[in-house]
Structure formats: C-alpha cells, structure tokens
Amino acid sequence: MGKRILGRSGLEVSTLGLGCMGLSFAYGPALDRPLAVTLLRAAVDRGVTFFDTAEVYGPYTNEELVGEALAPVRDRVVIATKFGFDIDPATGAQRGLNSRPEHIRAVAEASLKRLRTEVIDLFYQHRVDPAVPIEDVAGTVRDLIREGKVRHFGLSEAGVRTIRRAHAVQPVTALQSEYSLWWREPEAEILPTLEELGIGFVPFSPLGRGFLTGAITAETRFDAKDFRTNAPRFSAENREANQGLVARLGEIAAAKRATPAQIALAWLLAQKPWIVPIPGTTKLHRLEENLGAAAVSLTPDELHTIDAALADIPVQGDRYTPQAQAMVDR
C-alpha cells in the first residue's frame, strides 16, 4: 500500500483509507465486536493507516470500536473523527446540528476518551451548522490544535464559500464529501477550489454505497436498519434503472482483469494525487478486493474510455432524502 499526502498539509496517509461507519451503523445490524476488531487490525496488517469514524456512528459505539482495535498500533495510524450533531444522551437520537464552540470542545474530550488517544489526527465538522458562523467553528478547532488535542481540521459536505471562509481562519487539511462514478458533482467547483487552496479530498461512498460493486440489484432486500431502505436512489425502480451503469462498468473491469469495485476506486485515485477514498466493508475478502485497487493503473486512454462510456448513462434518483439533503451545504 502506497502513501498520499492530503493537500499541502503534510498529513500522510495510506492511498486508500477505511470507512468504519458500516461496522456498527447505517447498513444493518452491527458486526460482532470481535469480528470488527479483527477486520480493523487486518486492514492495518495490509498497509491501511487511515481510519474514519464519527461520534454519531452508533452513536458513540463506532469510536469505541476503533479505539479498541487501533490502540495497540496507535503510533502507526491516522484516526479521523467528526463533530457537529446534537445527540440525545438518553436515546442516542439525532436532534439536529450543533457546532457551538462549547459543544465542539465537549465532543473532542469525549471522542479522545472513546478513541483511547491523546490527540485526534483529523477533526471534521460533520455537517455545516447554519446557526454558527464557520469562523467560530474554525477558531475553536484552531484552539484545540494549539492545545495539542487535535492535529488537523477538516470539513464534510461543505460548499465552496464555507471552505474558503473556514480556511482563512484555520487551514483546512481535508474535505470529506461523496464522490464516485455515479456522483460527480464535486468536479464542477469543489475540486478546483481544493486544488487552489491545497486541501486534500476524502471521498466517502466511493463505491456508490455498494451499488458500483454489482452486488445490488432491483431484487436486493435491505435490512430494516439499512438507511438505503429510504434512500431515493435505492428504490427498486431506480436500482433497476441504474443497472446499465453497473453493467458497463463490469465490461470495462473484465477487459482490465479487475473487479468493478477496483475500477471505480482506481478511477477516483487517478483524478488527483491528493484524493484518498475511504471505502467501507464488513468482510475481509471485500477489504482485500478494495485494497487491490491501489495496484490498478488506468492510462489516460482508459480513463477517457470510462468517462465516455458512462457519460450517456444518467443516474436515476436523489442520493439523500429531502431531510438529509437539507444538511448539505452548498
């Protein structure tokens, strides 16, 4: 596994990171904790040094899992976590957004304990809070960095204006947002801005929440706890309508003697040298398959072929429910 640096920050991480959310949240029942610990440590053994979690995943249980699994190798890994949601301590339910300075500090202290560490390597604002000036958010994280509790500041699903305002107060190391062969909106404004400012990009859902692997069809039945059950893009009719994209990706992968997942990840890696995708999985063989994408090299002609082949296949369905979309900064 090679290494990449997120923008001009100097933060070096593995070429591919691991999104840890699905181990305990969002995609159905949580993986048994011993199995999840084993998977995380297997990722480290295979060269992964970049692990992504958040207080809201669970809530709290994902950070605890990551903290337990990575404690023995803490000096070898980079841990990213997030703040920004108001969580009911009694029920664990989300009560909206909260990026008030005092809340950011409280989350940082709690996350440090759950992660069993003295410093958070990368601290993202999970969603932009319109009730709190981004300058106040950036200033609070700047203070946490000066105090040695945080090393780097990140944003998630933030728009260009917010990125610029935050970066003027405290340099932003990385932006985390969705980006993949079936969600290319960041190419219009986000990627040029990040390149200009020297900010790294961490695409989440780089495999289209599993759809680009080819393992999901119109007949797939999701667990009741799987958030894709309510995602418009994952309705049965939209899954059927989007099969053309997956079929074409499969043809391209077969010609390259790779899997569709590997081509999707290799395509992302080829876009910019400061892009570090964080695919997630609960299965060791899928982890190994995903990591194999780092060895797949796509030529300019192959990249053109992929772009041309997929350009005429419109993706059907919104990626978020209206309520979730309302939290995305633009």
**265-302 per-position pLDDT tens digit:** 999 999 999 999 999 999 999 999 999 999 999 999 99
Helix (H, G, I), strand (E, B) or coil at 5: strand
Q: Average the pLDDT over 76-105 and give the result.
A: 96
Q: Average the pLDDT over 81-90 and give the result.
A: 96
For all residues of the chain together, what is the average pLDDT?
A: 97
Tell me: the pLDDT tens digits for 16-31?
999 999 999 999 999 9
- Determine, yes or no, domain membership for 258: no
Q: 120: pLDDT confidence band, cut at 50, 70 and 90? A: very high
Residue 311 has pLDDT above 90, yes or no: no
- DSSP class of residue 226 equals B
Helix (H, G, I), strand (E, B) or coil at 8: coil
Boundaries of domain holding 17: 3-209+272-295
| Number of independent structural domains in the chain | 1
Q: Average the pLDDT over 221-246 and give the result.
A: 94
- Determine, yes or no, domain membership for 173: yes
**Which uninterrupted H or E stretch holds 50?**
strand 50-52
**How many Cβ atoms from other residues are within 10 Å of residue 114's Cβ?**
20
Taking the C-alpha atoms of residue 316 and residue 184, their distance in angstroms, rounded to an integer, is: 13
Residue 228 has pLDDT above 90, yes or no: yes
CATH number of the domain within which 174 lies: 3.20.20.100
Residues with a catalytic annotation lie at 57
CA angle, 262 then 233 then 128, to 5°? 90
Taking the C-alpha atoms of residue 256 and residue 202, their distance in angstroms, rounded to an integer, is: 25
pTM of the predicted model as reported, rounded to 2 decimal places: 0.98
- Determine, yes or no, domain membership for 223: no
Taking the C-alpha atoms of residue 175 and residue 235, their distance in angstroms, rounded to an integer, is: 29
